[in-house]
Amino acid sequence: MLLKRVTDSIRLDALLSYAAEGLNEEATVRRLALMTAVALATSVIAAPAGNAAVSTDSSTLRKAVTVQGIMRHQQAFQGFAEDSVATFGHPTRVDGSIGFTESADYVVRQMRSYGYSVSVQNFTFDRFVESAPPVFAQVAPNPTTYIEGTDFLTMEYSGSGDVTASVQATNDIVIPPGATASTSNSGCEASDFAGFTPGNIALIQRGTCTFRQKVDNATAAGAAGTIIFNEGQPGRTDAVDGTLSPPQAAIPALGTTFDLGANLYSLLQAGQTVSVHIAVTAGVVTTPSVNVIADSTGRADRTVVVGAHLDSVTEGPGINDNGSGSAAILETAKQMTKLGITPVNRVRFAWWGGEEFGLLGSEYYVSHLGSTELKNIALNLNFDMVASPNFVRFVYDGDGSATGTKGPNGSGNIEKVFTDYFTTQGLPTAATAFDGRSDYGPFIDRGIPAGGLFTGAEGIKTAAEAAVYGGTAGAPYDACYHQLCDDITNLNRTALDQMSDGIADATLQFAMTSSSVSGTSKASATATASTDYAGTLLRK
């Protein structure tokens, strides 16, 4: 075991430093062989017996980080969400609720009790608030009242208004949809509104550009409201749960199912006059929020930021999204101190606020770092949803080899640490892209290497994935994503056990390495340019 710890430590450090030097695989193997031979000859000096804390053997920490320990934190989060019922009518930990505030206070208390240096970073943001249920109904030719949450949703930062008017379709609507996403360019250009009658309600299909761009173009054309219907490919059929991002738009904007939009479009194509009633009562409220930051000891110039977002959406308690990531890193931090682990590099555990409104907490944190502080961050590990009921073991594709979207230099090395670990456990993994959906976004935007784990959200599990990971093909990874049912029962404990072990392993590996992850270059041009999301709300 002693020699294995020595060679494992060499393996990680060499992997990171040789990548920085640009050595090819053959050269790396030759140098590793030489270093291992030297280590074996000097192993008693290199690794004193009993000093497990300086080893990259994570088995002791992984054994200590248990599902039972994580669930104790999750039970606390569920209780905090229920404290919001009096205000919101249902459990939630949305930023701005008592459920979020109590969650943050709990993390502060816990981390201080574990011996970390804890700070609370305060910031404010404009929270979108609906003060009355939205209304959407077809007045003619077929009077129909549509159901919120099933047929349509109000887009975050929609404008307010109550309007009954004719529907007019934009150009570039594609029905049936193309084989791949974003084949529709509807509403993305001013020319899509050629001949638009001011005062009408614009019917627009999702695709290509941001929802905000579509709504702004409709506003410029004189539209009194907008209906943006889903694009229609698998995974793009439900009511669009999207955001326009602040500031609040000038006109009401609803996201609907593909079927609803396609039906309205077919009526228009048949020469029918279609009129609808839309009502949105909403505004923005300046809302205080916090990031919770907790530091270990260790080299500040090699800071490892281990993060998860603490807030939920308004609609539910967010126990998978993202109580699972928050609780997993909290238990990892706890067990590191209980085991007496003294990190070589400072580990900064972070719980972000405002993620569901557009990565607001992590963006605030990164944008308020000085140049030296920014340079001192070696990497970011991000854990957003790690217990999805119909899970896949996703690892962020740091080198872009599987998805074509790579992170900053060094991200591929982070990916390899995760995939190597799961390989040793006989657990297959799949790559997931840096699509901007979570709090790694502000880090990779500034050239900081990043990586992490994910078990899936609203996406649909394929038959091939079900064959590897079990579960149900054709069903969402998390059927309760962004819903009231994302509660304490909405957790796959097998996934939580496996992914929390991966979290513990990677955190320890990077806490103990003496080598750089070589994160010196900027993110690739595709790392955020094709982003479909702002936080976990659709942006286009």
Residue 223 domain-assigned (yes or no): yes
Residue 421 domain-assigned (yes or no): yes
Are 226 and 250 in the same domain? yes
Residue 392 domain-assigned (yes or no): yes
Are 274 and 352 in the same domain? no
Are 386 and 242 in the same domain? no
3-state secondary structure of 452: strand
Number of domains in the chain: 3
Are 372 and 278 in the same domain? no
Residue 122 domain-assigned (yes or no): no
Structure tokens that stand for 103 in this block: 């969650």
User: In terms of pTM, does the model score above 0.85?
Assistant: no
- Phi, psi dihedrals of residue 464, rounded to the nearest 5°: -65, -40
Residue 123 domain-assigned (yes or no): no
**DSSP-assigned states of every residue in 173-203:** --SSPPSSS----TTSSGGGGTT--TTSEEE
Structure tokens that stand for 105 in this block: 């206070």
Which one of 255, 285, 315 terminates a domain?
285
Residue span of the structural domain in which 452 resides? 59-116+296-538
Q: What share of the chain is helix, strand, coil (3-state, %, to 5)?
A: 35, 25, 40
Residue 290 domain-assigned (yes or no): no
Are 402 and 502 in the same domain? yes
Q: What is the pLDDT of residue 539?
A: 60
Are 398 and 423 in the same domain? yes
Is there a cis peptide before residue 343, judged by omega within 30 degrees of 0?
no
3-state secondary structure of 328: helix
Q: What is the pLDDT of residue 235?
A: 79
Q: What is the pLDDT of residue 54?
A: 35
Distance CA 313, CA 513 (A): 37
Distance CA 318, CA 483 (A): 8
Distance CA 478, CA 490 (A): 8
Among 60, 184, 88, residue whose Cα is nearest residue 512: 60
Q: Is 173:293 a contact under the CB 8 Å cutoff?
A: no
Which one of 265, 285, 305 terminates a domain?
285
Are 162 and 43 in the same domain? no
Strand partners, 121: 291
Per-residue pLDDT of the chain (540 residues; tens, 9 = 90+): 333 333 344 344 444 443 433 444 344 444 444 344 333 333 332 332 222 233 479 999 999 999 999 999 999 999 999 999 999 999 999 999 999 999 999 999 999 999 999 999 999 999 899 999 999 999 999 999 999 999 999 999 999 999 999 999 999 999 998 887 778 999 999 999 999 999 999 999 999 888 999 999 999 999 999 999 999 988 789 999 888 888 899 999 999 999 999 999 999 999 999 999 999 999 999 999 999 999 999 999 999 999 999 999 999 999 999 999 999 999 999 999 999 999 999 999 999 999 998 899 999 999 999 999 999 999 999 999 999 999 999 999 999 999 999 999 999 999 999 999 999 999 999 999 998 889 999 999 999 999 999 999 988 899 999 999 999 999 999 999 999 999 999 999 999 999 999 999 999 999 999 887 863 434 444 443 333 444 445 565
Q: What is the pLDDT of residue 24?
A: 44
Are 410 and 385 in the same domain? yes
Which one of 285, 309, 343 terminates a domain?
285
Catalytic residue among 156, 231, 331, 355: 355
Residue 522's domain is classified under what CATH number?
Answer: 3.40.630.10
Q: What is the pLDDT of residue 520?
A: 41
3-state secondary structure of 154: strand
Are 396 and 533 in the same domain? yes
Largest CA distance in the chain: 86
Active-site residue 355, yes or no?
yes
Among 255, 276, 180, residue whose Cα is nearest residue 212: 255
Q: What is the pLDDT of residue 540?
A: 58
Residue 142's domain is classified under what CATH number?
Answer: 3.50.30.30
Q: What is the pLDDT of residue 2?
A: 31
Are 278 and 342 in the same domain? no
Residue 121 domain-assigned (yes or no): no
Are 324 and 269 in the same domain? no
Are 332 and 419 in the same domain? yes
Residue 302 domain-assigned (yes or no): yes
- Phi, psi dihedrals of residue 126, rounded to the nearest 5°: -90, 105
